[in-house]
Structure 1
Amino acid sequence: MPHDAGLIQELMETAHAAVDIARPETLRYFRKPGLMTANKTTDGFDPVTEGDRAAERAMRELLARKRPDDAVLGEEFPPVSGTSGLTWILDPIDGTRAYMSGAPSWGILLAVADEDGPILGIVDQPYIGERFVGGPDGAWLDGPAGRIALETRDTSDLSEAILFTTYPEVGTEEESAAFWRLAARVKLTRYGLDCYAYALLAAGQIDLVVEAGLQTYDIQGPMAVVRAAGGIVTDWQGGDASNGGRVIAAANRALHEQALALLAT
């Protein structure tokens, strides 16, 4: 749904303010001794740290003051209903395993969505000071070198493509088999960057990100950035990926179509 420029500006300003307030909360614990980590599940390992909870709490408190009529969906606390038709989608630390390991590939994810999906989004890496932003006015990186416009690559053939995913096993046995069909056709496959892989795709550094088992808060921020930079984000059938699940992000339509054909085989 189209939104007027004034509302977009207000949402963008609030989005930056929310991520600004989350940054120091994540850095307060990053690479510090004695980081407390809890496991959120009895089936496997799904870690959460003080940094996750503190950052999301700070963002929620700011949104409650600035946008009290909007809904909020976050990873660490229960959802908040709203009346405006807009939802703030928060992942305070995407890549908690990287965070607890001291690797700077985690990020703060934020999106603002309506019934059609994300309107704008942010992928923020506080430790290295990079913020990837996407919205109706395009995509850009604010970082140590200043502001840089983002545009995805024009790689047209899988044989020249660079593919990323977070875990080599990808998901279920079926999902893993589909991923490896695709991986066998690309030039290079790499692992482990969580949300930062989508940022690299938007920045024109890589060509494909393929994952499975994602949640809404894992994908809507990166989706907004990749789309604003000229890329495509769908599920493995070419449908809407706003609710997570099996997700493919591609630099352009040609690569997207070639990759979908292999994932769906």
Structure 2
Amino acid sequence: MQTQIQFVSQTSKSLQFLPSIHDHHQTLNLNRYHNAAALAFSPKRRSLTLRTTNVSAMTSNSSHSDHANGFLDHHDFDRFAEVGNKLADAAGEVIRKYFRKKIDILQKEDLSPVTIADQAAEEAMVSIILENLPSHAIFGEEQGWRCKEKFADYVWVLDPIDGTKSFITGKPLFGTLIALLYKGKPILGIIDQPVLRERWIGISGKRTTLNGQEVSTRTCTKLSQAYLYTTSPHLFSGVAEEAFVRVRNKVKVPLYGCDCYAYALLASGFVDLVIESGLKPYDFLSLIPVIEGAGGVITDWKGHQLHWEASSDSQPTSFNVVAAGDKQIHQQALDSLQWQ
């Protein structure tokens, strides 16, 4: 039986900048990447569940893809990738319209900024999911859970603008993050930079692509030779800051300020390590297929698999994330973090 989806607002009325754009989302240009999937992929819950299988020593891209491929065939993946491309196209059309324009900036309850571009881009993506995959649930950063049922096998997790501070200051290093979960596992992930028109797509069991071309992480076996990214050193505090500093002091070059774009650069083999604290599920779930499909490893600071059970009661609590292009420096980073 199909799940019926309805809208459930979880934000204050002050953040409702505009009416739903469902009636005119068809005017968005959805054709630019319509065939990309065929090119690249041919043949508020009170407690969260975090699976604790240690994957720090495993071959990358095995833990998630083995599970997913046991239930789905390539036709499912092709269809989901096509829809994912449509979502990124639609969000990108909205975001480019507002980029480097003077727009109102409001604060959410957690004091993070939000703009009309964030909400309009999410609504554009939601419209397409409703039209193409009405049995799927949706969890968006701006509006939360959108499904009549409390649970669903398939859940799209959306972050329309990851890096809103970069967006509002005119820096094109933010991104649209799109993940599709199947029974809690991320089977499809997209990092889209709509201004630079770069799109990384990861799908379980397949090689990650950038605009249709396969990409790979690079080999770096020593932490002392690693290039490390994090969004900002000021986002760490207390023991998390101490743990991060232990790693930062051992790497070759620490770098700052890329938001989700740092993970995309890691997948393409330009940096070696990304460490961040306090990420929400919509900040990292899409990254998992992208990083693993490029040959990298992404876990929490204990080396545990990242896993989030989305439902109508789910609360997007925080996770500490470490991603590496090489499993050897991933383990070295874990050893230095010493996270208990």
Unaligned 5+ runs, structure 2: 1-66, 309-317
Given that 1:164 and 1:209 are in contact with CA atoms closer than 8 Å, whether structure 2 keeps it comes out as: yes
Match of residue 72, structure 1, among 138, 157, 177: 138
Matched ranges for 1:99-114 at <5 A: 99-114=167-182
- Spell out, residue by residue over 1:151-177, the C-alpha distance to the aligned partner (whole angstroms, 9 max, x if none): 011100001100000111232211111
Given that 1:117 and 1:242 are in contact with CA atoms closer than 8 Å, whether structure 2 keeps it comes out as: yes
Name the structure 2 match of 1:173: 238
Q: CA deviation at 1:221?
A: 1.0
Q: CA deviation at 1:116?
A: 4.5
- Spell out, residue by residue over 1:228-265, the C-alpha distance to the aligned partner (whole angstroms, 9 max, x if none): 10100100001122345100001121011100001116
CA distance in structure 2 between the partners assigned to 1:192 and 1:228 by the alignment = 24
- Spell out, residue by residue over 1:19-52, the C-alpha distance to the aligned partner (whole angstroms, 9 max, x if none): 11111111111001x21111003x6x40001100
Name the structure 2 match of 1:198: 263
Q: What SS does the corresponding residue of 2:329 show, helix, strand or coil? A: helix
CA distance in structure 2 between the partners assigned to 1:233 and 1:196 by the alignment = 15
Q: How many residues align?
A: 258
Q: What SS does the corresponding residue of 2:233 show, helix, strand or coil? A: coil
Name the structure 2 match of 1:98: 166
CA distance in structure 2 between the partners assigned to 1:4 and 1:247 by the alignment = 30
State the AA in 2 paired with 1:40.
Answer: K
Given that 1:219 and 1:242 are in contact with CA atoms closer than 8 Å, whether structure 2 keeps it comes out as: no
Match of residue 50, structure 1, among 89, 93, 116: 116
Name the structure 2 match of 1:263: 337
Given that 1:162 and 1:188 are in contact with CA atoms closer than 8 Å, whether structure 2 keeps it comes out as: yes
Provide the TM-score with structure 1 as the length reference: 0.94
Given that 1:89 and 1:110 are in contact with CA atoms closer than 8 Å, whether structure 2 keeps it comes out as: yes
CA distance in structure 2 between the partners assigned to 1:209 and 1:241 by the alignment = 15
**Between Structure 1 and Structure 2, whose CA radius of gyration is higher?**
2
Q: CA deviation at 1:88?
A: 0.4
CA distance in structure 2 between the partners assigned to 1:137 and 1:260 by the alignment = 27
Matched ranges for 1:82-231 at <5 A: 85-135=153-203, 136-142=205-211, 147-231=212-296
Match of residue 87, structure 2, among 6, 11, 18: 18
CA distance in structure 2 between the partners assigned to 1:5 and 1:251 by the alignment = 26
State the AA in 2 paired with 1:171.
Answer: F
Unaligned 5+ runs, structure 1: none
Name the structure 1 match of 2:300: 235
Given that 1:170 and 1:179 are in contact with CA atoms closer than 8 Å, whether structure 2 keeps it comes out as: no
CA distance in structure 2 between the partners assigned to 1:37 and 1:199 by the alignment = 27
Q: What SS does the corresponding residue of 2:176 show, helix, strand or coil? A: strand
Question: Structure 1 residues 84, 115: CA separation in 2 closer, same or farther (over 3 Å shift)?
Answer: closer
How much identity, in percent, do the aligned residues show?
Answer: 38
State the AA in 2 paired with 1:226.
Answer: I
Q: What is the Cα-based RMSD across aligned positions, in Å?
A: 1.3
Higher strand proportion: 1
Name the structure 1 match of 2:41: none
Name the structure 2 match of 1:246: 320
Q: CA deviation at 1:84?
A: 5.2
Which has the higher mean CA deviation after the structures are superposed, 75-84 or 52-61? 75-84
CA distance in structure 1 between the partners assigned to 2:91 and 2:214 by the alignment = 24
Q: CA deviation at 1:148?
A: 2.5
Q: What SS does the corresponding residue of 2:232 show, helix, strand or coil? A: coil
CA distance in structure 2 between the partners assigned to 1:84 and 1:35 by the alignment = 36
- Spell out, residue by residue over 1:181-233, the C-alpha distance to the aligned partner (whole angstroms, 9 max, x if none): 00000000011100000000000000000001001100011221011101001
Provide the TM-score with structure 2 as the length reference: 0.74
CA distance in structure 1 between the partners assigned to 2:83 and 2:338 by the alignment = 39
Given that 1:118 and 1:220 are in contact with CA atoms closer than 8 Å, whether structure 2 keeps it comes out as: yes
CA distance in structure 2 between the partners assigned to 1:93 and 1:169 by the alignment = 20
State the AA in 2 paired with 1:199.
Answer: A
CA distance in structure 2 between the partners assigned to 1:74 and 1:148 by the alignment = 28
Return the structure number with greater relative CO, CA threshold 8 A, min gap 6. Answer: 2
Say whether 1:39 aligns with 2:107: yes
